[in-house]
Structure 1
Amino acid sequence: MRSLLNTLRLTLKELSAIRRDRVMVALIIYVFTAATWLVSNAASTEIRDLAVAVVDEDRSPLSHRLTDAIRPPLFAEPEVLSPAEAARAQDEGRYVLVLSIPPGFERDLRAGQAPALMVLVDATAMAQAGNGAAFLQRLLADELQRYADPGGGASDPVDVVFRNRFNPNLTATWFTSVMQLMNNVTILTLILSGAAMIREREQGTIEHVLVMPVRPHEIVLSKILATGLVILLASISSLVAVIHWGLGVPVTDSLGLYALGAAVYVISVGSIGLLLATFTRNMGQFGLLVIPVIIVMLLLSGGMTPMESMPDWMQVAVGIVSPAPHFVAFAQSVLYRDAGLALVAGELLRMAAMAAVALAVVLVRFRKVLAG
Structure 2
Amino acid sequence: MRSLKNILWLTGKELRAIRGDRVMLVLIAYVFTLAVWLVSDAASTEIDHLSVAVIDEDHSQLSARLIDAIQPPLFATPALLGPAEAEAAQRDGREVLVLAIPPDFERDLRAGHDAELMVLVDATAVAQAGNGATFLRQVLAQELARWRAPGADGTALVDVVFRNRFNPNLTSRWFSAVMQLMNNVTILMLILSGASLIREREHGTIEHVLVMPVRPHEIVFSKILASGAVILGASLLSLIVVVQGVMGVPVAGSVALYAAGAAIYVVAVASLGLLMASFTRNMGQFGLLVIPVMVIMILLSGGMTPLESMPEWLQWVLRAISPATHFVIFAQAVLYRGAGLALVWGEMAMMAAMAAVAVAIVLGRFRKILGG
- TM-score band w.r.t. shorter chain: over 0.9
Q: Give the 3-state SS of the residue equivalent to 1:169 in structure 2.
A: coil
Which of 284-293 and 34-43 deviates more?
34-43
Partner Cα separation in structure 2 for residue 97 and residue 364 of structure 1? 59
1:231 partner amino acid? I
Partner Cα separation in structure 2 for residue 259 and residue 14 of structure 1? 22
How many equivalent residue pairs?
372
Instruction: Name the counterpart of 2:28.
Output: 28
Q: What is the TM-score with the length of structure 2 in the denominator?
A: 0.98
Q: Give the 3-state SS of the residue equivalent to 1:76 in structure 2.
A: coil
Q: Give the 3-state SS of the residue equivalent to 1:26 in structure 2.
A: helix
Instruction: Name the counterpart of 1:267.
Output: 267
Instruction: Name the counterpart of 1:334.
Output: 334
Q: Give the 3-state SS of the residue equivalent to 2:93 in structure 1.
A: coil
Query: After superposition, where does 1:175-190 map in structure 2 within 5 Å?
Result: 175-190=175-190
Instruction: Name the counterpart of 1:343.
Output: 343
Which of 59-68 and 271-280 deviates more?
59-68
Partner Cα separation in structure 2 for residue 43 and residue 313 of structure 1? 33
Which of 153-162 and 15-24 deviates more?
153-162
Instruction: Name the counterpart of 2:215.
Output: 215
Instruction: Name the counterpart of 1:15.
Output: 15
1:146 aligns to 2:155 (yes or no): no
1:367 deviates by 1.8
Q: Give the 3-state SS of the residue equivalent to 1:250 in structure 2.
A: coil
Residues 193 and 274 of structure 1 are in contact (CA less than 8 Å); yes or no, is this contact kept in structure 2?
yes
1:90 deviates by 1.1
1:241 aligns to 2:241 (yes or no): yes
Detail structure 1 runs of 4+ shifted over 6 Å in the superposition: none
Residues 43 and 176 of structure 1 are in contact (CA less than 8 Å); yes or no, is this contact kept in structure 2?
no
1:99 aligns to 2:84 (yes or no): no
1:323 aligns to 2:333 (yes or no): no
Query: After superposition, where does 1:1-372 map in structure 2 within 5 Å?
Result: 1-152=1-152, 155-252=155-252, 254-372=254-372
2:13 partner amino acid? K
Q: Deviations over 1:264-289 (max 9, x none)?
A: 00000000000110111110000011
Which ranges of structure 1 fall in alignment gaps of 5 or more residues? none
Q: Deviations over 1:330-353 (max 9, x none)?
A: 111111111111100000000000
Q: Give the 3-state SS of the residue equivalent to 1:124 in structure 2.
A: coil
1:107 deviates by 1.1
Which of 19-28 and 350-359 deviates more?
19-28
Q: Kindly, what percent of the aligned residue pairs are identical?
A: 70
Partner Cα separation in structure 2 for residue 153 and residue 219 of structure 1? 70
Q: Give the 3-state SS of the residue equivalent to 2:287 in structure 1.
A: helix
Partner Cα separation in structure 2 for residue 171 and residue 36 of structure 1? 15
User: In 2 relative to 1, CA 206–221 (structure 1 residues): closer, same or farther, beyond 3 Å?
Assistant: same
Partner Cα separation in structure 2 for residue 303 and residue 22 of structure 1? 30
Which ranges of structure 2 fall in alignment gaps of 5 or more residues? none
Q: Give the 3-state SS of the residue equivalent to 1:55 in structure 2.
A: strand
Residues 193 and 270 of structure 1 are in contact (CA less than 8 Å); yes or no, is this contact kept in structure 2?
yes
Q: Deviations over 1:124-159 (max 9, x none)?
A: 222211111111111001001111112327855432
Partner Cα separation in structure 1 for residue 353 and residue 81 of structure 2? 61
Residues 302 and 325 of structure 1 are in contact (CA less than 8 Å); yes or no, is this contact kept in structure 2?
yes
